[in-house]
Homo-oligomer: A and B are copies of this chain.
Amino acid sequence: MASDKKQLILSTVLDLVKQTGFYHLNMKAIAERAGISAGTIYLYFKSKEELINELYQTVLGEFNQAVLHSYAPEVGFSGNFEAMLRAAVDFYLPRKDYFSFIEQYTYAPFLFKESQEENFSLLLPIFKLLRQGKKEGLVKAFPEPVLISIIHGTLNTILKMHFAHKLDLRKKSVYQSFCTAVREAVTNPANKDSLPTPHP
């Protein structure tokens, strides 16, 4: 089917970017790896630029869906914050190719203005939650961009380090440390008086 081949091309690009990097990506290499000819790619994509941009949107879409899916209105701010942070990590952890692609896309020459913007809103759902938590006094009173930097920056770097084998996020203890660290960095210390008491 037609969309099969399109999918094949897209996943081949992910594969190649992970393995050889964005700079060495070329249409012939994509074609070879996918077992098709270079010309065929142009039956499914108008240009290399369009191909890359479509892949970017796809990856971003999948990510957003994964994070949003972890949101549950009933568990309140703290529960949702941790859940979405974990969802973000869990999404990329088994998808080094996705992470690598998103990372390198940022500095590719294709980047539309709109996409450039988007890059900071990668964790948009989390940031929304943040604003809510701030109103409730649960989140520290730092300017929003500072809070974003902590979450986005820490997440980004820890994933990078994980994939560079500087740490192993699959270890429960490391994973937990990361979550705790981000929570503590962003939220006010829990007031004992306001803690929900299991048995009043």
Contacts and interface: CB of A to CB of B under 8 A. Distances in A.
Q: Is the interface of A mostly helix, strand, loop or mixed?
A: helix
Given A145-B167, A145-B174, A146-B167, 14 more contacts: A21-B107, A24-B109, A116-B164, A120-B166, A143-B167, A146-B177, A146-B181, A148-B161, A150-B154, A150-B181, A152-B153, A152-B157, A156-B157, A189-B189
A140 B184 CA distance: 11
Protomer copies: 2
A149 interface: yes
Interface in A119-162: 120, 140, 142-143, 145-150, 152-158, 161
Interface of A: 21-24, 103-104, 107-109, 116, 120, 140, 142-143, 145-150, 152-158, 161, 164, 166-167, 173-174, 177-178, 180-182, 184-185, 189
